Each structure stands twice: as C-alpha cells, then as structure tokens.
Chain A
Amino acid sequence: MARSNKPIVWSLFAAGGTFAAFVTPVMIVVTGLALGLGLLPPEALSYERMLAFVQNPIGKGVAFLVVFLPAWHAAHRLRITAHDFGIRADGAVATICYSLAAMMTLLAAYALLSV
C-alpha cells in the first residue's frame, strides 16, 4: 500500500471546518437573518460600507477566507457524504465536489480582485 495524497484535501477540510465552526453561524445571522428581520441599522450592510471593507487589504483577505475555507471543507465532506449514501463513483463525485469549491474560489477571487 502506498501513502495517500489525502492530506492535501484533508488539511483544507480541517482548516475549513474549524473556520466554519467559529465564523459561519454569526455570518448567517448577520447576512441571512438580521437584515431580513430588521435587526440591523440601515447602513450596516450598505454598498459604500461593504465596498470600503473589501477594498481594505485585510477585509479582502477575510472575505476571501470566508468563501475559500468553508467551500473546500464542504466539498470534501460532501464527497464523503455521497459515499455514505451509497454513491460509489468516488472519482466522479470528487471531481464534481472539488470543482464546485474551485468555482466558488475563482469567482470570489475575481470579485475581490476587481474592486
């Protein structure tokens, strides 16, 4: 048996899972719930404010991580979940899952580099 190359995707899975555990709940509350339920001041997520955030190099980096890390975490876990549900075509499943993460990564990078 040979040593596996899984550490590459697994390290992203672990980093992304840790990041998502700490950050995703409050992110969902802020973006998905607080706004719709009227719990935010009107300027909180305004275009000017958000633009200033992502134009700042630190804000840009944070915004990228908020997409990059959970995306690769979810992709790898989805690959395993497909196997757990009985889908045995691991090559095809892995390609689809990691492609989704790659597309999100590229789209986020493109958006952040163009502002």
Chain B
Amino acid sequence: MSRNPYIRPVSDTTWWTAQPRYIRYMAREVSCILIGAYTGVVTFGLFHLSQGAAAWNGFLETLQSPLSIAFHLLALAFALYHTTTWFNVTPKAMPLQLGETQVPGGVIIGAHYAGWAVVSIVVLFLVGA
C-alpha cells in the first residue's frame, strides 16, 4: 500500500505547450474550426442561391472581398493540414494485410493522395478553371 503518494498537477489549459508533438496535435484539432467555418460559408451560399439571382450574385461579391480571400487562405492552410494528417494516419487505423505481408503504409497513403489529386482535378475541370 502507498504510504503517501504525491500526485503532480497537470494544467488543463497549457499542457499542450510542453512538447512539439502536442502542439502539432492541437494544430490538427483546431483545423476543425476553419473547416466548420468554411462549411458555414457554403451553407450560407446555398441559402443565397435558393433566394434568387440577386442574392447569389451578392454572395459572390462578398466572396471576392479581401477579408473573404484572407479567410479562405487560412482555411485552405488548415484544410490541407487536415488532409495530410488524415491520410498519414490511415494505415494505422485501417491496416491492410494480404496473406502474410502488410501493405506498406506508404502505398496506402500514396493511393489516398492519388485519389485526392483525381478528385481535385475533376472538380477544377467541371468548374472550368
């Protein structure tokens, strides 16, 4: 039995500043704020679309303001960080074993990036960029 165990306090709010790996984790988690905000922008866009041409064109106008572009640059940075961190852990969450060999993680990740490139190119093509 423990005589007089000492419990070291851990900060609820600043624990993640202690190590670079925790800071990278928090950056990944915080990406959800930007992705959520962008999804909100898309939602408002769909709403304006449903309200007619004037509303939609007004929405497109605001999309071109400097503030909007700055927000979207930030959102893109975090969205890309989400994409890379998501793809990188996929082999750990869904390992693939064929017979006695594990499919190398790099192959699984590479396949995801390839799929991502295809989706992106298709969307860009459909939009006409």
* Residue picked from B26, B50, B57, B64, most chain A C-beta under 10 Å: B50
Give CA–CA (A16, B32) in the complex, Å.
Answer: 11
Within residues 1 to 47 of chain A, which ones have a CB less than 8 A from any CB in chain B?
Answer: 17-18, 20-37, 39-41, 43-45, 47
User: In whole angstroms, what is the CA distance A21 to B39 when docked?
Assistant: 13
Given contacts A32-B69, A71-B39, contact A18 B46 (CB under 8 A): no
Count residues on chain A whose CB falls below 8 Å from chain B CBs. Answer: 55
Q: Is the CB of B76 within 8 A of A73?
A: no
Interface of B is mostly: helix
Query: Which of A18, A25, A36, A115 sits near B120, CB closer than 8 Å?
Result: A25
Query: B13–A21 contact, CB under 8 A?
Result: no
Q: Are B43 and A67 in contact (CB under 8 A)?
A: yes
Q: Cα distance A18–B87 when bound, in Å?
A: 9
Given A40-B129, A74-B32, A84-B26, A21-B50 contact (CB < 8 Å): no
Closest to A39 in B: B129
- The CA-CA distance from A40 to B64 in the complex, in Å, is 12
Partner of B76, one of A33, A51, A86, A115: A33
A54 at interface by CB-CB < 8 Å: yes
Chain B residue nearest to A37 in the complex (CB): B69
Checking B43, B64, B129 against A30 with a beta-carbon cut-off of 8 angstroms, the contacting residue is: B129
Q: CA A73 – CA B45 in complex, angstroms?
A: 20
Measured CA separation A73–B78 after assembly (Å): 14
Enumerate B1-55 residues with CB–CB distance to A below 8 Å. Answer: 11-13, 16, 26, 29-33, 35-36, 38-47, 49-50, 52-53
B108 at the interface (CB under 8 A from A): no
In the complex, A100 has a CB within 8 A of chain B: yes
User: Given A20-B79, A22-B115, A84-B29, are A51 and B49 also a contact pair (CB < 8 Å)?
Assistant: yes
The 7 closest A-B pairs by CB, nearest first: A32-B72, A74-B36, A86-B12, A77-B32, A86-B13, A111-B50, A26-B120
Extra inter-chain contacts (20) besides given A24-B82, A30-B127, A40-B127, CB under 8 Å: A17-B82, A21-B116, A22-B119, A24-B79, A25-B116, A25-B120, A26-B120, A27-B42, A28-B76, A30-B129, A32-B71, A33-B76, A36-B64, A40-B128, A44-B129, A47-B56, A50-B56, A71-B39, A104-B39, A110-B50
